[in-house]
Structure 1
Amino acid sequence: MTADVLTGVELMVAGRDQVAAEVVAIRLCRADGGDLPEWAPGAHIDLELGVGLARQYSLCGDPAERSVLRIAVQREPNGRGGSRLAHERLTVGSTVRVSGPRNTFPLVAARRYLFIAGGIGITPVVPMVAAADAAGADWRLVYGGRSRATMAFATALREKYGDRVSLHPQDETGLLDLAGLLGRPGTGLVYCCGPEPLITAVEEHCRGWPPGCLHVERFTARGDTGAPETTIEVELALSQRTVTVPPGTPILRAVEEAGVHVLSSCREGTCGTCETPVLAGVPEHRDSLLTAEERAVGDTMMICVSRARTPRLVLEL
């Protein structure tokens, strides 16, 4: 049994391993052992951990292993509860509803890569370095964390790839030397995933680089709120109806209240599930996914958080 994508499919926890302090790697499979959807490095899946509680986790296994999807979950004591539920409920033999995979962080073919990972941001990078290595690319991974004990997969990566992997526990070496790593363009493509301060700093160091050099993935919302909100009109071209969206109301919620179903998950602009084509009008992007180039084109938007710079938008819904 195969599928192009899972939509709320119940998978079974086939195994779990402690891979760092407060980090468990979880392997998911079909109860019948059938094949799971194909995926590529950078992809993630959505787990339904409770009523109205969905969380996204990057796939960190081998794309060629079609019977298993592997994720790694870090327990966040100050989080919103998703990681705690994953640690407590996803025991071997238990089941969880899964959707995806989806990929908003794809690995672009290149001859040279610099991978920068911070903490649990290593998860999408693990299959990326494997793919880059298999393709014969020139690559380097710089991996930082609070301490060695907290850095998932660090030992395995170092043993497999040697000096191409540089480990930087903060309690031993301090913060990453981003100025030295990113002093000038020429490192090839840069891929970065980790906590917001790291991503923001990398973006600042790469400001002015040629378009397309830097690729980032955020696990939490960027946090910029944009201009003061005004009431906007949103025409739903396919549904042939128009909704009024007042200040403080997400477009997604207004559309749902009008009776139009839209796939969504994170509702904070980080997962890409609600990405919607824009047919007319100018979006005000507030997501944490689209690149500067994609924002400038303005032909798509994440309606869970983004609004409009024009009084009216026409969406393909």
Structure 2
Amino acid sequence: MTVHEVELVVERREFVADGVLALTLRRPRGELLPDWEPGAHVDLLLGPDLERQYSLCGDPADRTAWRIAVLREPAGRGGSAHVHERLRQGDPVRARGPRNHFALRPAARYLFVAGGIGITPILPMVAAAQARGARWSLLYGGRNRASMAFAGELAGYGERVTVVPEDECGPLDLGPALDALPDGTLVYCCGPGALLDAVEARCPPGVLHVERFRPKPRPTGQEDASEGEFEVELALSGRTLTVAPGISVLEAVRAAGVEVLFSCTEGTCGTCETDVLEGVPEHRDSVLTDQERATNATMMICVSRCRGERLVLEL
């Protein structure tokens, strides 16, 4: 997979809801940007050890600009504060990507469910579904109307969009939409973990696609592979490393001086996804689907380990 790193400038800053800042980003001389499809995100390289992932929420057909929207999180780790307080119109910023672990698959029907800032990857999906002539609907929940980004853009779709401010209507009622899904419907959901868990609990197997901003909690009592050490052979580097207890594969690889892309170190962004040539990973990420995990073709080396004594990775 080709990963692009591009130099950008902030062309426009616009508040699209309380605490939500949208940025329009372009290349300095107007060159075309890498193409992308709904569901894709980019890494903003904001400074040393400060990289954050943001969903692209503009028009994929516009190769001259990327749009992202960033929720100001006072209790966050510094990324949103940097974007809100330090990135000004005309400022340079580097980005890497796009990547897409939340791609919109073909279907006759879609149900989109968004909570809060989770509307960002859903927005271009809705436009794509409309353009394809698919049947679709969107449930969009938020704390209050003022906090719900892009509600004005979505109003143009009429009754297909149901906006549910919690202070007026209470929490999203998922039952009517999810308990009788028509055959052939795919469900796409992004938002807080509690919303994703509630949707997951109601969806039949194989229809739900989610994107998480934070790692999914591991079930209590879930059986793990041994936390002991194991070997990792790096097929491209010709080296074999020992991954000690309490050390991630990513940490072991970097300590050996092997360069590898990574970002969140939590198993949510997909940046460190690595091909597995031999061995069986113990998947601990929040990116891969159950079907993708079953193939054991790739793993997120920042969190996942080994179900056995040895892995061979394409590094």
Bin the TM-score by the shorter chain: over 0.9
**Distance (whole Å) between structure 2 residues aligned to residue 193 and residue 45 of structure 1:** 16
Q: What pairs with 1:137-286 in structure 2 (closer than 5 Å)?
A: 137-158=134-155, 160-186=156-182, 188-206=185-203, 209-211=204-206, 213-224=207-218, 227=224, 229-286=227-284
Contact 1:42/1:106 (CA < 8 Å) preserved in 2?
yes
Matched, 1:108 2:105: yes
Give the C-alpha shift of residue 311 in structure 1.
1.6
Q: Helix, strand or coil for the counterpart of 1:215?
A: strand
Question: Which residue number corresponds to residue 131 of structure 2?
Answer: 134
Q: Helix, strand or coil for the counterpart of 1:19?
A: strand
Give the C-alpha shift of residue 61 in structure 1.
0.3
Root-mean-square deviation over aligned CA pairs: 1.4
| Runs of 4+ that moved beyond 3 A | none
Question: Which residue number corresponds to residue 96 of structure 1?
Answer: 93
Question: Which residue number corresponds to residue 19 of structure 1?
Answer: 16
Figure out how many residues of one structure are paired with residues of the other and give that number: 309
**Distance (whole Å) between structure 1 residues aligned to residue 286 and residue 154 of structure 2:** 28
User: 32, 36, 55: which one pairs with 1:35?
Assistant: 32
* Structure 1 gap ranges (5+): none
User: 58, 61, 66: which one pairs with 2:63?
Assistant: 66
User: 279, 293, 296: which one pairs with 2:294?
Assistant: 296
Q: Helix, strand or coil for the counterpart of 2:158?
A: helix
Cα 1:264–1:250, aligned 2, differ >3 Å: closer, same or farther?
Answer: same
One-letter amino acid matched to 1:52: D
**Distance (whole Å) between structure 2 residues aligned to residue 148 and residue 168 of structure 1:** 8
TM-score by length of 1: 0.94
Contact 1:5/1:37 (CA < 8 Å) preserved in 2?
no
* Structure 2 gap ranges (5+): none
Q: Helix, strand or coil for the counterpart of 1:123?
A: helix
Question: Which residue number corresponds to residue 121 of structure 1?
Answer: 118
Q: Helix, strand or coil for the counterpart of 2:31?
A: coil
One-letter amino acid matched to 1:175: P
Deviation sequence 1:171-195 (CA, Å, 0-9, x none):
1111111222211442600000001
| Deviation larger for 220-229 or 44-53 | 220-229
TM-score by length of 2: 0.95
**Distance (whole Å) between structure 1 residues aligned to residue 28 and residue 85 of structure 2:** 21
Deviation sequence 1:20-52 (CA, Å, 0-9, x none):
000011000011111111111001110011211
